[in-house]
Amino acid sequence: MDIILSHGSILVLLAAIVGFFMAWGIGANDVANAMGTSVGSKALTIKQAIIIAMIFEFAGAYLAGGEVTSTIRKGIIDASYFVDSPQLLVFGMISALFAAATWLLIASALGWPVSTTHSIVGAIVGFAAIGVGVDAVEWGKVGGIVGSWIVTPLISGVIAFIIFNSAQKLIFDTDNPLQQAKRWVPMYMFLAGFVLSLVTIIKGLKHVGVEVSFADGFLYAVGIAIIVAFLGKICISRLKFDETAARSTHYANVEKVFAVLMIVTACCMAFAHGSNDVANAIGPLAAVASIVDNEGKIAAESAIAWWILPLGGFGIVAGLALFGHKVIATIGQGITHLTPSRGFAAELAAASTVVIASGTGLPISTTQTLVGAVLGVGMARGIAAINMTVVRNIVVSWVITLPIGAGLSIIFFWMLKGMFA
Give residue 108's identity as a one-letter amino acid code.
Answer: S
- Domain count for the chain, please give it: 1
The three-point CA angle 126-11-313 to 5° equals 80
Residue 200 DSSP label: I
CA dihedral 304, 401, 370, 376 (to 10 degrees): -150
| pLDDT the model gives residue 299 | 66
Q: Are 291 and 218 in contact (CB under 8 A)?
A: no
- Tell me the C-alpha distance between 178 and 171, whole Å: 7
Q: Which residues of the chain have pLDDT under 50?
A: none
d(CA 185, CA 207): 33
Of residues 253, 239, 291, the one with CA closest to residue 82: 291
CA separation for the pair 158, 79 (Å, rounded) = 37
- Contact indicator for 34, 273 with CB cutoff of 8 Å: yes
Cα–Cα–Cα angle for 398, 404, 409, rounded to 5 degrees: 130
Task: Specify the amino acid at residue 77.
Answer: I
* pLDDT computed for residue 362 by the predictor: 64
Q: Could you give the CA distance from residue 292 to residue 271 in angstroms, rounded to a whole number?
A: 31
First to last CA, the chain: 12
* Structural domain boundaries enclosing 251: 2-420
Rounded to whole angstroms, the Cα distance separating 373 from 352 reads 11
Q: Say what the pLDDT of residue 84 is.
A: 80
